[in-house]
Amino acid sequence: MTTSRERIISAILHLSTGKVAVDMGATPSSGISAIAYSNLLKHLGRTDLPVLVYDVVQQLAQPDMSILDHFGIDVLDIGRTFNDEPSDWIPTTLANGAPAFYPKWFKPSALEDGSFVTYDDDGKRILSRMPVGATFFDQTYFPYLDGYPDSYENLDAEMGRIMWARDVHSPWDHAGEEDFWIKLREKTLKLRESTDKALLVVCGCNLFEWGTFLRRMDNFLMDLICDTENVEKLLDQLLVRHLATLEKVCNSVGNIVDIIRFGDDLGMSSGPFMDTDTYRALFKPRHKILCEYVKTHSKMHSYIHSCGSISSLMPDLIEAGIEIFNPVQTNAYMMKPDYLKKEFGKDCTFWGGGIETVGTLNSGTPEQIRKQVLERLEIFSPGGGFVFNTVHNILPDVPPENIVAMFDAVKEFNSKQDN
């Protein structure tokens, strides 16, 4: 009998094990909205389980192990080993009125208009906001909005004000603790000994995205063309910090974790944010350095999350050392499943693309969901190189019966395969 860990690794190595590997909740781009998860628990009759909002920015739930087992999930985020006591959580109310829990350190302020905001340590500057009716927080503070600094001595402090770093999900919300790296290894070892599921660590290392977090998207996109000197200086500063983090990650868990997940949204629905020459000049060499460090200092496989149309950049990303792509936004330009599988299926693993999150999963019938899932599995699964997941996170408006129908279709497909 093939284990979950073997199924994931075999998929990455393009070794077919019969059954397709499955993910839900192992990353903050392959997860489930806390609202959708709350509705799913009610549908399954599991209201005894708490709704733990582990990613407060995107308002994502950490699925309970019993739910992951119920749906045959094959991979876990090692971050779930932190915040493992009831005292680590405080009660909150989701945007739809359902009860849930935040990590005890996250205490956004409610404004008179019903929106929620987070403040800097001085209690004056607003860093992020969740408007009324919204289901995630938006960044409102961009430290380099008016230009690049003469010195980067304060870069760490400014990065710490960005919501993606300040209000980060586990395990990184504990990264400032003195014994963090020791605990990370101890907790990961315990998790590995207790499960046959593959293990994944989310490790950011964003390059393009940090430029947009610091300068704001519009400014940084212009900088890629008009101010490459300052862009390169910033990227080099980021690379120093990312390599320092990777050294600690590899030393701590590099030999016991299977996959390391980077993030860098490089695409829009209509195409990449930049042409291939710009990617090759500014980002490819640095992505290569990150991937080579992981390959040299650990046994982990390199995974990148990038939304949008990135097929024109994929050959360079693969050359840089990226092995796994997520979320596989199949409704974007030049990202059709059959095209991706034909062009790149032998050279990488697609982690996602199993069903359209918007348009099918949220508004389709169970039979339409079954049909699309089976079609995608027939396209993506031959020869390995595929882990089933939705296109990005399961959103708040997805009915629970549609989630069940999706996983039922995967089980139907897998029941016909050899173990």
pLDDT, residue 418, reads 57
DSSP state of 394: B
Mean pLDDT in each 10-residue stretch from start to end of the chain (419 residues)?
A: 94 89 98 98 98 98 98 98 98 96 97 96 95 95 97 97 98 97 98 98 97 98 98 98 98 98 97 98 98 98 98 98 98 98 98 97 97 98 96 98 98 83
How many whole angstroms separate alpha carbon 240 and alpha carbon 246?
A: 10
Write out the two tokens for 17.
């094990």
Strands (E), 285-339: 301-305, 324-326
Task: Please name which of 182, 247, 196, 227 lies closest in space to residue 65, comparing C-alpha atoms.
Answer: 196
Q: Which residues span the domain enclosing 210? A: 4-30+71-79+148-415
Does the residue 139 lie in any domain? no
- Domain membership of residue 136 (yes or no) is no
The whole-angstrom separation of Cα 408 and Cα 385 is 21
Residue 25 in domain: yes
Distances (CA, A) of 153 to 127, 159, 344: 21, 11, 42
In a domain, 98, yes or no: no
In a domain, 384, yes or no: yes
The conformation of residue 79, written as its DSSP 8-state character, comes to G
108 within some domain = no
In a domain? residue 222:
yes
What CATH number is given to the structural domain containing 382? 3.20.20.210
Which three-class secondary structure state does DSSP give residue 19?
coil
Number of structural domains found in the chain: 1
Contact (Cβ atoms closer than 8 angstroms) between residue 276 and residue 312: yes
pLDDT of residue 270: 97
Is 56 within the bounds of a domain? Answer: no
The answer for residues whose C-beta is within 8 angstroms of residue 160's C-beta and 6 or more apart is 166
